[in-house]
A = this chain, B = another copy of it.
């Protein structure tokens, strides 16, 4: 049973199985082909259901990916929310949104697992790499008008921090409080944005 499953229709076991089958199909296709090349339709076909049912359960491909990767909430929505506000504080808002997400009780463990998987498993790497390249990074380019080159460097700083602080646990990164990380990285990401 899942909180976000639709209202029961009587075929209780059937519904739960359908949702799980869509998630399994999504994980398979995201792993095989990456995020961009795995269409909602192809995932529906793989799961043996109508594409409308995929939308019904997961809303969007992004929502489906989050569910397939078991990331609670909607990380993209949180980043999108962080983008709003004065441009000269964008660096601080971005690093605050990411560290808060990474250190949250709901999304944090799933994000750690996803990054660890991506560093190890070719399928998870394709899914995560495609998601970052095709979904997360274009939001920054399109919404705030940053160049792709700038977004690449900003994303590198954020993912490098995640690698060193959460995965590797390097003392130079774990010895900081979250607020110190935000105070340090905010102006430095801003310097990249303002270049």
Binds B, one of A3-11, A38-46, A113-121: A113-121
Chain A 23-60 near chain B by CB (<8 Å), digits 1 or 0: 00000000000101000000000000000000000000
| Measured CA separation A120–B117 after assembly (Å) | 9
How many copies of this chain are found per oligomer? Answer: 2
User: A residues bordering B, Cβ < 8 Å?
Assistant: 34, 36, 115-116, 118-120, 125-126, 128-130, 132-134, 137, 148-150, 152-153, 155-164, 167-173, 184-185, 187-189, 191-192, 194-195
- Can you report 21 A-B residue pairs in the complex whose CB atoms are below 8 A from each other? A115-B119, A120-B120, A128-B170, A129-B170, A130-B170, A132-B164, A132-B170, A133-B170, A149-B188, A152-B172, A152-B185, A155-B160, A156-B156, A156-B157, A156-B185, A158-B160, A159-B160, A159-B164, A188-B192, A188-B195, A191-B195
